[in-house]
Amino acid sequence: MADTGQRRPARRPRRTRTATVVALVLALAATLGACGVTRGGDDPDNRRLRMMIPNSPGGGYDLTGRAAAQVMEEDDLTGRFEITNVIGASGTVAMQRLLNERGADDLVMLMGLGVVGATYTNDSAARVSKATPIARLVEEQEGLLVPADSPFKTVDDLVTAWKKDPRKVTVGGGSSPGGPDHLFPMQLAQTLGIDPKDVNYIAYDGGGPLTTALLGEKIQVGTSGLGEFQGQIDDGSLRVLAVSGDERLEGIDAPTLTESGIDLVFTNWRGLLAPPGIDDATRDYLTELVTEMHDTPEWREALKRNGWIDAFATGEEFGTFLTEQDERVDSTLKELGLS
Amino acid sequence: MDLFLDGLMNALTPENLLYAVIGVLLGTAVGVLPGIGPAMTLALLFPITYTVPVDSALIMFAGIYYGGMYGGSTTSILLNTPGESSSVVTAIEGNQMAKRGRAAQALATAAIGSFVAGTIATALLVLFAPKVSSAVVQLGAPSYFAILLLALVAVSAVLGSSKMRGFIALFLGLAIALVGTSTGQARLTFGSPLLADGIDVVVVAVAIFAIGEALWVAAHLRRRPLQVIPVGRPWMDRKDWGRSWKPWLRGTAFGFPFGALPAGGAEVPTFLSYITERRLTKHPEEFGKGAIEGVAGPEAANNASAAGTMVPLLAIGLPTTATAAIMLNAIQSYGIQPGPQLFDNEPALVWTLLASLFVANTLLLVLNLPLAPIWAKLLRVPRPYLYAGILFFASLGAYSVSFEPFDLALLLVLGFLGVAMRRFGLPVLPLIVGVILGPSLENQLTQALALSGGDVSTLWSEPVAKVVYAVLVLALVAMAVAAVRGRAARRGASSVEKEEVSA
């Protein structure tokens, strides 16, 4: 009896507390709702945009995307960027999500050559050609790396040995099939008249393991962007036989492939896409935004800091390039039976 | 030594100390959340390298790394929800200890073990890093395959009382590990790109441990009376110390070399340490019911491995983990190139970093040890609320990886697997080991065979591989002999059998 008598008053404060909590939640919801109204507002200098990045923080796409967003925010070209890393299947998951957001006027996605390849190797219907191209931003050259005391002194040495017995030459790269480090040796083989199926490519999980394999001479040739190898190149434990762009790379003492008589220019590029079905005004707005971003000294500083090559292209030019890359990757991977 | 003292002085300036504290706190926080790891945190904090001096940034990053290794254990022990893959093993005994009112002791042995292991391993790092040659890169896929195979055989020691159930769990784990496209072919992905990267071991562990248990408890809530978790004493007693110090040392011995190896990692040494402790313990009856050795060893191993990764990073500029790769990136962004010359060119920086590892370790101990009894009180929250909290926490962690509702569905499906395993008495550890070992084992085998052009003899072409296979054969022979003698003994006196088992 005394028990129940004591319990009753104890209950009352709890009910008032519940009421307070409910009120708080409602107030919070109201504030958030109000935020929702201002979001995507009409002032073009203060729009909130979303950016999707198709791999984990710290990766190449992530560094490029965050650098671009930072420049746009700090130069007040637009409002804040909400950056999401959508991880999965080398970018296929993010690509699918971009296509699902048909017509969304506040979304861009950073992507690049690797995402193009991934949509094929993962057998996904979410092709890059279905999205709205906004701009190509940067590119990185690939390099042909060998250990210091490799018998290959020049590209010619490699080509001779490779043509003689393609399966004897082990090539390692830091990306899985469909990624830039894989596409580069395959297209190189195609150019040289070697059947890509005969290329003995070993996929390593990024630059670290690839460095290990090269230093330990487990593979004969490595194909990769050179940024992660600067230390080993400088101290002479790795050598660069050639770089893949159409100009030599600053700070790397190696010829281009074309200089060595091989007709191939290959770059790992990165750019921005928007969802399909956006109206012209949105498309123009986004194009202008990245063009302004590209013209800032901060962006030039970011390019220099990261060793990226400026490869800016928008509109028709980027659109054509994208289609061309899509077809090229498709044909390479088809020949390998991977798409 | 002078160099080290200089480094210590530099690491202890108020500003750097503040960065160390921030790093350790942040690291502990991300270690606690499943789904967010130190690698991701470092990547997101990377822009601070533009504004902060290099030694401060590295001190903070080292704090995050060590803190992450430690923080994962707190939720493993209290909530059965491992925050990082390296603290999955800790949950097995740690959570059992917590349920028996020994959470404070489990947390304390984890904190002190991490400190002891981190300190010894950092000392080893100071001794070895300058001298280590490029020897570690000579280990190739064949050697790793052999080492992993040995680890897989060692698992048979912990298959539990019923070998049959143990193997079922192991193969379930290996089957989960098959999901993905790592071999270039889509396997068990059911056409979904969401499964293309495979299933993360943290997701599996959180689902089996936390979700599985919450569902199991919910299913039995009405039938069984509510047990109140006893509070227990706040500190470790003499016996706990006596049972902890050897596992700490052995855990360090496992963790450091694995950390230093390019394909070593922090997960394999934790379960090797667990297996060893289970074999060597004088209290085999406590294993599975909260043996302190099973927390002390693995927790020491994961912190020692964190120090181990610094060896190749500083000595030859080789990152062996995702976290180390970002630290390398950070060092390079200051125009400093790790490698053989680093110790000559930048002695002040290197010794400051090494000293800051000591500082980070000490800070972790100072911050976490007093908190252990306070955390332990968390378990006095009434069970329905506690499990609701666990479910919320586990879901948040799984969802925060990539904001995919699919991950929540996956978590639930694997959670039901966890319930089924409890129902049929399948041990959890073999499953986790399968998930961890399966992909690496396969990866190293395909790599070795691709490099040799399909020639199987490559598998024993490296000296390390040969030695490991010899050990493997000896172990198998010893196990066979023990089995035969065990059977003979069982026919004889039952007292002899007991000795055989403990041997």
Q: What is the CATH number of the domain that holds A212?
A: 3.40.190.10
What is the SS3 assignment for B180?
strand
Per-residue pLDDT of B251-299, as tens digits, reads 999 999 888 887 777 888 998 999 899 888 888 888 888 899 999 999 9
What is the SS3 assignment for B88?
helix
Q: Given a cut of 90, is residue A236 above it in pLDDT?
A: no
Phi, psi at residue B312, to the nearest 5°?
-65, -30
- Closest by alpha carbon to B305, among B66, B131, B61? B66
CATH number at residue A68: 3.40.190.150
- Contact flag B191-A88 (C-beta cutoff 8 Å): no
The minimum CA-CA distance between B268 and chain A, rounded to whole Å, is: 18
Q: Which residues of B touch A177 (CB under 8 A)?
A: 184
Per-residue pLDDT of B68-122, as tens digits, reads 888 888 888 988 888 888 888 999 899 999 888 888 899 999 989 999 998 899 8
pLDDT category of residue B399 using cuts at 50, 70 and 90: confident
Q: Which residues of B touch A56 (CB under 8 A)?
A: 39-40, 43
Q: For chain B, how many residues are written?
A: 503
Q: Given a cut of 70, is residue B229 above it in pLDDT?
A: no
The minimum CA-CA distance between B499 and chain A, rounded to whole Å, is: 45
- Contact flag A207-B325 (C-beta cutoff 8 Å): yes
Q: Is B329 part of the contact surface with chain A (CB cutoff 8 Å)? A: yes
Q: Is A88 part of the contact surface with chain B (CB cutoff 8 Å)? A: yes
Q: Which amino acid is at B256?
A: F
Q: Given a cut of 70, is residue B333 above it in pLDDT?
A: yes
The minimum CA-CA distance between A164 and chain B, rounded to whole Å, is: 16
Whether the Cβ atoms of residue A236 and residue A148 lie closer than 8 Å to each other = yes
| B213 Cβ neighbours under 8 A, 6+ residues apart | B80, B390, B418, B422
- State whether A202 and A154 are in the same domain: yes
CA B494, B499, B502, B503 torsion: positive or negative? negative
Choosing among B318, B329, B342, which should be mutated to test the A contact, i.e. which has the most A CBs within 10 A? B318
How far apart, in whole angstroms, are the C-alpha atoms of residue B302 and residue B281?
20
Nearest CA in chain A to B314: A231
Question: Number of CB pairs < 8 Å for A and B?
Answer: 122
- pLDDT value for B232: 65
The token pair that represents B188 in the structure block: 């068990």
Q: Which residues of B touch A212 (CB under 8 A)?
A: 136-137, 262-263, 318
- Chain centre distance of CA B258: 11
- Closest by alpha carbon to A238, among A145, A130, A120? A145
Q: Which amino acid is at B470?
A: A
Q: Is A44 part of the contact surface with chain B (CB cutoff 8 Å)? A: no
- Contact flag A89-B193 (C-beta cutoff 8 Å): yes
- Closest by alpha carbon to B232, among B374, B109, B103? B103
Q: Which residues of chain B from 183 to 242 reach within 8 Å of chain A, CB to CB?
A: 184, 186, 191, 193-194, 196-197
Whether the Cβ atoms of residue B43 and residue A56 lie closer than 8 Å to each other = yes
As beta bridge partners, residue A50 has A82, A107
Per-domain boundaries in chain B: 2-461, 462-503
| A289 Cβ neighbours under 8 A, 6+ residues apart | A72, A77, A78
- Closest by alpha carbon to B407, among B415, B399, B416, B397? B399
pLDDT category of residue B497 using cuts at 50, 70 and 90: very low
- Contact flag A123-B186 (C-beta cutoff 8 Å): yes
Q: Which residues of chain A from 149 to 168 reach within 8 Å of chain B, CB to CB?
A: 167-168
How far apart, in whole angstroms, are the C-alpha atoms of residue B451 and residue A201?
9
Q: Which amino acid is at B418?
A: G
B317 → closest Cβ in A167, A203, A231 = A231
The token pair that represents A64 in the structure block: 């490029």
The minimum CA-CA distance between A317 and chain B, rounded to whole Å, is: 30
Q: Given a cut of 90, is residue B324 above it in pLDDT?
A: no
**What value of ipTM does the predicted structure carry?**
0.75
- State whether A237 and A147 are in the same domain: yes
Q: What is the 3-state secondary structure (H, E, C) of chain A?
A: CHHHHHHHHHHHHHHHHHHHHHHHHHHHHHHHHHHHHHCCCCCHHHCCEEEEECCCCCCHHHHHHHHHHHHHHHCCCCCCEEEEECCCHHHHHHHHHHHHCCCCCCEEEEEEHHHHHHHHHCCCCCCHHHCEEEEEEEEEEEEEEEECCCCCCCHHHHHHHHHHCHHHCEEEECCCCCCHHHHHHHHHHHHHCCCHHHCEEEECCCHHHHHHHHHCCCCCEEEEECHHHHHHHHCCCEEEEEECCCCCCCCCCCCECCCCCCCCCCEEEEEEEECCCCCHHHHHHHHHHHHHHHCCHHHHHHHHHHCCEEEEEEHHHHHHHHHHHHHHHHHHHHHCCCC
Q: Is B326 part of the contact surface with chain A (CB cutoff 8 Å)? A: yes
- State whether A135 and A279 are in the same domain: yes
Whether the Cβ atoms of residue A53 and residue A111 lie closer than 8 Å to each other = no
- Closest by alpha carbon to B107, among B66, B64, B71? B71
Q: Looking at residues A296-325, what average pLDDT do you find?
A: 91
How far apart, in whole angstroms, are the C-alpha atoms of residue B11 and residue A249?
38
Q: Which residues of B touch A167 (CB under 8 A)?
A: 453
How far apart, in whole angstroms, are the C-alpha atoms of residue B58 and residue B313?
13
How far apart, in whole angstroms, are the C-alpha atoms of residue B105 and residue B102?
5
pLDDT category of residue B439 using cuts at 50, 70 and 90: confident
Q: Is B334 exposed, middle or buried (0-12, 13-18, 19+ CB in 10 A)?
A: middle
Per-residue pLDDT of A219-234, as tens digits, reads 999 999 988 888 788 8
**Cα dihedral B432/B437/B442/B447 (nearest 10):** 150
Look at chain A and report how many structural domains it folds into.
2
B402 → closest Cβ in A88, A121, A207 = A88
User: What's B222's DSSP letter?
Assistant: T
Mean confidence (pLDDT) of chain B: 83
Q: For chain A, how many residues are written?
A: 339
Phi, psi at residue B243, to the nearest 5°?
-85, -10
Choosing among A90, A212, A232, A233, which should be mutated to test the B contact, i.e. which has the most B CBs within 10 A? A212
Q: Which residues of B touch A170 (CB under 8 A)?
A: 450-451
How far apart, in whole angstroms, are the C-alpha atoms of residue B390 and residue A223?
46
Domain limits at A158?
141-243
| A25 Cβ neighbours under 8 A, 6+ residues apart | none
pLDDT category of residue B235 using cuts at 50, 70 and 90: confident
Give the range among A181-190, A301-310, B32-41 with minimum mean pLDDT. Answer: B32-41
Q: Looking at residues A112-118, what average pLDDT do you find?
A: 92
pLDDT category of residue B493 using cuts at 50, 70 and 90: low
Q: Is B76 exposed, middle or buried (0-12, 13-18, 19+ CB in 10 A)?
A: buried
State the distance between the two ends of chain A, measured CA to CA, in whole angstroms: 78
**Cα dihedral A68/A72/A78/A84 (nearest 10):** 30
Q: Is A100 part of the contact surface with chain B (CB cutoff 8 Å)? A: no
| Other C-beta atoms lying within 10 Å of the C-beta of residue A257 | 24
How far apart, in whole angstroms, are the C-alpha atoms of residue A254 and residue A239?
9
How far apart, in whole angstroms, are the C-alpha atoms of residue B312 and residue B319?
7
As beta bridge partners, residue B340 has none
- Closest by alpha carbon to A303, among A137, A170, A158? A137
- Residue A22 within any structural domain of the chain: no
Q: Is B162 part of the contact surface with chain A (CB cutoff 8 Å)? A: no
pLDDT category of residue A16 using cuts at 50, 70 and 90: very low
Q: Given a cut of 70, is residue A20 above it in pLDDT?
A: no
Nearest CA in chain A to B189: A122
- Closest by alpha carbon to B71, among B104, B110, B44, B35? B110
- Closest by alpha carbon to A214, among A227, A230, A241, A232? A232
Please write down the long-range contacts of A166-170, taking CB distance under 8 Å and 24 or more positions apart: A166/A194, A166/A195, A166/A198, A166/A199, A166/A200, A167/A198, A167/A200, A167/B453, A168/A200, A168/B453, A169/A200, A169/A220, A169/A221, A170/A200, A170/A202, A170/A218, A170/A219, A170/A220, A170/A221, A170/B450, A170/B451
How far apart, in whole angstroms, are the C-alpha atoms of residue B376 and residue B373?
5
Nearest CA in chain A to B404: A86
B453 → closest Cβ in A56, A200, A338 = A200
| Domain end position, chosen among A243, A277, A298 | A243
Q: Which residues of A touch B339 (CB under 8 A)?
A: 231-232, 235
- Contact flag B191-A123 (C-beta cutoff 8 Å): yes
- State whether A161 and A110 are in the same domain: no
